[in-house]
Structure 1
Amino acid sequence: MDIKPALEFSDRPFLVCKDHTVSGRFFELYKDEEYDLLGTFPRPEKDKLSEYYKSENYISHTDSKESLFDKIYQLVKSYMLQKKMNWIQQEKKSSGSILDIGAGTGDFLLKAKENNWEVFGVEPNSNARNLASKKGLELREDSSEFENGKFDVITMWHVLEHVPDLEVQIKELKRLLKPDGLLVIAVPNFKSYDAKVYKENWAAYDVPRHLYHFSQSSISKIFGKFGFTLKFRKGLMFDSFYVSLLSEKYKSGKPNPVKGVFTGLISNLKAFSTGEYSSLVYFLKNS
């Protein structure tokens, strides 16, 4: 089950990308051909990684509704929360215990609670935990506080790409999830049409916060090594618009909403047949 020795990144960079959010530094993406996976290098030192999240533009750690972009983001998020619960309940017919790792400000867990789930959350960012606390959710800082085999469902919504060690994280998921439990992983897809259009300016590369970049085969192969079976996948169609709008700004230095929306639309239309959405949610069964 040890995937570390199998991760062999190429000698030449796949792309060179800029951190547009915080530092303005450039980072290189290298590809592992066997797992169809990209890795970000150089990696910030563990004690300095949090510095790259200190930005008012890092929207997942806030409930901001100040700008039009924020308002649209929060509106779409509200719609998608129930959509996500519906997908989970399509597989798990009865409610149980659910752990959200990287819970942000807790909105997904609030929706799960409304749907009669017993909810738990992990969020390392203190500001996000404080916002969740004001909503009546007490999130833990680390998953090590939970006992073995506790949860019926574990979710990671756009979190796996941030973890520094895939092997350690997947083993922890295996420890926490009940036998036959459901693991839900949402990650960007670098094989999507919008990723190919924007290349090094694709906002979902988000270096160096995103340390890994996944394809469909990445998820199947890596999680298969640890005894997870892919049940089904879903596309996050709104992500292509969000990412394309940001990518246009990164590419030209100024917003181009018409072109961004058009690219997002084309990406979704192509994904109807290819399955290569800008972001994908994978539903995996523990065995």
Structure 2
Amino acid sequence: MENEKELYTNLIPLLNCKDYTVSEESFEVMTNKEYKMLVTSPVPADLENYYKSEDYISHTDSKKTLYDKLYHTVKNHTLKQKLVLLNSFKTETKTVLDVGAGTGDFLKVCKSNNWKVLGIEPSLDARTIADKKGIVLKEKLLDVTNKKFDVITLWHVLEHVENLKETIKVLKSLLKPKGRIIVAVPNFNSCDAKFYKEHWAAYDVPRHLWHFSQCSIHKLFSEVEMIVDETLPMKFDSYYVSLLSEKYKFGKSRPIRAFYRGFISNFNARRTSEYSSLIYVIKNY
């Protein structure tokens, strides 16, 4: 689309990153100076095939490996934190749309706490698992019509959407006047990102099409007359991402070094606010 072209204009090569999950192919991570963000190039025509892996954990409930078990342990803890955040908004109607709902665990927690829930998930396998939990998900955002929500959540999803600016416009159109959009994304300005460089697991090319800084999130949402009201850290992400990054860089997990690197990243972020991943609470003007 026309609006997306400026995100691909005047890009400067920064890193050459490898897809460690599916294809073993390499992709360029390019700098867009205007938006202070990074862009994956090229975008594969068959992008959906790069999600077809048992290692792509958000589309399964697998607990086979150390990474799987750690992921689910952290996820169970963060689900409670996410619910606390939602409940802090004190909306009367308590309606939430979760975009990129995976296997439905977040919406299940919301539903059990009296939220009216709806979710979007492109993966048929993930939707099937969610359905068994009593969570019915739609395939595409455009399948949601004639509805407005108090809260729209994207937990590590915005970096995946192909038509970024158009998606942000659609999200705003589905939001009630005093509603909020919650966006959680990796932060390439974090200490762990700078340490691991092209081996930083949160680049996750080519599935992650966009790589955000705090400035880029502010700019993208200001263009649709929304404002970042609050920025919160996701402190567990530095440890999980460092564990994967150690494996990518050195060929083995090295959990002690990964824990150390995650700790250093969080410690530095106390001063810089550049945590490995950040949650943005975004409101209408």
Q: TM-score, normalised by structure 1?
A: 0.95
> In the alignment, is residue 26 of structure 1 matched against residue 26 of structure 2?
yes
For the structure 1 residues 4 and 54, does the alpha-carbon distance in structure 2 shift closer, same or farther, using more than 3 Å as the test?
closer
Q: Secondary structure at the match of 1:261?
A: helix
Q: Distance in 2 between matches of 1:51 and 1:161?
A: 17
CA-atom RMSD, angstroms? 1.4
Question: Which residue of 2 is the match for residue 88 of structure 1?
Answer: 86
Q: Secondary structure at the match of 1:63?
A: coil
Share of identical aligned residues, percent?
53
Q: Which amino acid aligns with 2:225?
A: G
Q: Report the alpha carbon displacement of residue 218 of structure 1 after superposing the two structures with TM.
A: 0.5
Deviates more, 1:143-152 or 1:270-279: 143-152
Q: Which amino acid aligns with 1:128?
A: A
Matched-pair contact (CA < 8 Å) for 2:165–2:220: no
Question: Which residue of 2 is the match for residue 146 of structure 1?
Answer: 144
Matched-pair contact (CA < 8 Å) for 1:132–1:138: yes
Q: Distance in 1 between matches of 2:117 and 2:102?
A: 14
Matched-pair contact (CA < 8 Å) for 1:148–1:175: no
1:9-48 matches, within 5 Å, as 9-45=9-45, 48=46
Q: Secondary structure at the match of 2:206?
A: coil
Matched-pair contact (CA < 8 Å) for 1:99–1:151: yes
Provide, for residues 197-217 of structure 1, a one-character-per-residue CA deviation record: whole Å limited to 9, x for no partner.
Answer: 000000000000000000000
**Which residue of the other structure, out of 217, 232, 235, is the alignment partner of 1:234?**
232
**Which residue of the other structure, out of 93, 105, 108, is the alignment partner of 2:106?**
108
1:262-273 matches, within 5 Å, as 262-273=260-271
1:1-287 matches, within 5 Å, as 3-4=3-4, 6-7=6-7, 9-45=9-45, 48-94=46-92, 96-148=94-146, 150-287=148-285
For the structure 1 residues 153 and 11, does the alpha-carbon distance in structure 2 shift closer, same or farther, using more than 3 Å as the test?
closer
Q: Which amino acid aligns with 2:35?
A: Y
Matched-pair contact (CA < 8 Å) for 1:161–1:187: yes
Matched-pair contact (CA < 8 Å) for 1:149–1:178: no
Q: Report the alpha carbon displacement of residue 236 of structure 1 after superposing the two structures with TM.
A: 0.5
Q: Distance in 1 between matches of 2:28 and 2:153?
A: 29
Matched-pair contact (CA < 8 Å) for 1:178–1:286: no
Q: Distance in 1 between matches of 2:67 and 2:26?
A: 26
For the structure 1 residues 166 and 68, does the alpha-carbon distance in structure 2 shift closer, same or farther, using more than 3 Å as the test?
same
Q: Report the alpha carbon displacement of residue 72 of structure 1 after superposing the two structures with TM.
A: 2.0
Matched-pair contact (CA < 8 Å) for 2:18–2:205: yes
Q: Report the alpha carbon displacement of residue 148 of structure 1 after superposing the two structures with TM.
A: 4.4
Q: Which amino acid aligns with 1:42?
A: P
Q: Distance in 2 between matches of 1:12 and 1:211?
A: 15
For the structure 1 residues 158 and 85, does the alpha-carbon distance in structure 2 shift closer, same or farther, using more than 3 Å as the test?
same
Q: Report the alpha carbon displacement of residue 8 of structure 1 after superposing the two structures with TM.
A: 5.3
Structure 2 residues without counterparts, runs of 5 or longer: none
Deviates more, 1:6-15 or 1:20-29: 6-15
Q: Distance in 2 between matches of 1:11 and 1:230?
A: 26
Q: Which amino acid aligns with 1:164?
A: E
For the structure 1 residues 249 and 93, does the alpha-carbon distance in structure 2 shift closer, same or farther, using more than 3 Å as the test?
same
Matched-pair contact (CA < 8 Å) for 2:70–2:240: no
For the structure 1 residues 129 and 13, does the alpha-carbon distance in structure 2 shift closer, same or farther, using more than 3 Å as the test?
same
Matched-pair contact (CA < 8 Å) for 1:149–1:175: no
Deviates more, 1:85-94 or 1:167-176: 85-94
Count of residue correspondences: 284
Q: Distance in 1 between matches of 2:227 and 2:90?
A: 15
